Structure 1
Amino acid sequence: MLQKSAVSGNHTLLDLHKLIQDAFEFDDDHLYAFYMDGKRFSRNCYNSPMDDVGPFVTEAAISKLGLYEKQKFLYLFDFGAEWKFTVTLLKVTDEENAPAAIVERKGDSPSQYSW
């Protein structure tokens, strides 16, 4: 499945997490993290607010992350099942107050659970 989302610089990685969850129709019932260098379990990450160790996604405003166009990073959801998503920054705009939204979806969502 392919998803394109739009978030402003004022949004956080928590907002991006919620968009991914909505697009894939997942239950938001597991820990997750964004690995900014794309390497699973590296220290260059932002964790779920439910995790024991920060920094947390609520502290990570998109505009403060130093991201650049075409940059890729890893979103890992459910550390047991290890749902891995490659996030690619397609475009940076000046629309600071634009709402976070899914702007395009292609394909069917995978089933989160096998039962």
Structure 2
Amino acid sequence: MKTYQFRVSIIGIPKLYRLIEASENCTFDDLHNVIFQSFDRYDEHLYSFFITRKDTKSMRNIYDAPQITHPVSAEEMMGYGERKESTAKMQICDVGLNEKDVFHYLFDFGDEWWHRIKVQNIKETKAKKKYIKLIKSVGESPPQYPDYDDEEYE
């Protein structure tokens, strides 16, 4: 079985990243859950992964890439004639990632927390069971909802 090491960073925040190790049979839901926990989030929102394979700053290229999205969002898109894969059904091994590939993750469609995920390496292991874990944390997580100065909105 293959094991993937992912470097997950929040776009626009330097010196902040998480290393996550996952077996190939983990779903993108599993990956979301570890990212969610590793950045100290507490309020669930919809999310999507965009399999761009290359690093890009072009939102058009990101949105044009194959999308794997939250099960509720995937179901809603089918009503509009769009077919999006569900994170609950798609496993990491299903998308054919290679070392050094980059893909993008959007958490919270309103606040838009954009992440860059790079495949650091892929190893063949003898493990048989599904597993995913945070292996390194660098930098302090930003608050999910920044405290706005009350006077600013009065």
Q: Which runs of 5+ in 1 are unaligned?
A: none
Alignment equivalent of 1:16, drawn from 31, 34, 48: 31
More divergent stretch after superposition (37-46 vs 23-32): 37-46
Does structure 2 conserve the Cα–Cα contact (< 8 Å) formed by 1:21 and 1:28?
A: no
- Residue 89 of structure 1 aligns with which residue? 119
CA, structure 1 residues 9+58, in 2 after alignment: closer, same or farther (shift >3 Å)?
same
Which one has the bigger helix percentage? 2
- Residue 47 of structure 1 aligns with which residue? 69
- Residue 108 of structure 1 aligns with which residue? 140
TM-score by length of 1: 0.91
Which one has the bigger strand percentage? 2
| Amino acid in structure 1 at the alignment position of 2:133 | A
Q: CA deviation at 1:43?
A: 5.1
TM-score by length of 2: 0.69
* 1:29 partnered with 2:61: no
Partners of 2:44 and 2:88 in 1: how far apart? 17
**How large is the RMSD of aligned CA atoms in angstroms?**
1.6
More divergent stretch after superposition (72-81 vs 21-30): 21-30
Does structure 1 conserve the Cα–Cα contact (< 8 Å) formed by 2:26 and 2:130?
A: no
Q: CA deviation at 1:78?
A: 0.6
- Residue 74 of structure 1 aligns with which residue? 104
Does structure 2 conserve the Cα–Cα contact (< 8 Å) formed by 1:13 and 1:57?
A: yes
Does structure 1 conserve the Cα–Cα contact (< 8 Å) formed by 2:51 and 2:65?
A: no
Does structure 2 conserve the Cα–Cα contact (< 8 Å) formed by 1:25 and 1:109?
A: yes
Partners of 2:119 and 2:43 in 1: how far apart? 23
More divergent stretch after superposition (100-109 vs 88-97): 88-97
Which stretches of structure 1, 4 residues or more, deviate above 2 A after TM superposition? 38-43, 94-98
| Amino acid in structure 1 at the alignment position of 2:121 | K
Larger Rg: 2
Q: Which runs of 5+ in 2 are unaligned?
A: 1-15, 78-83, 148-154
Report the 3-state secondary structure (helix = DSSP H, G, I; strand = E; otherwise coil) of the residue aligned with 1:63. helix
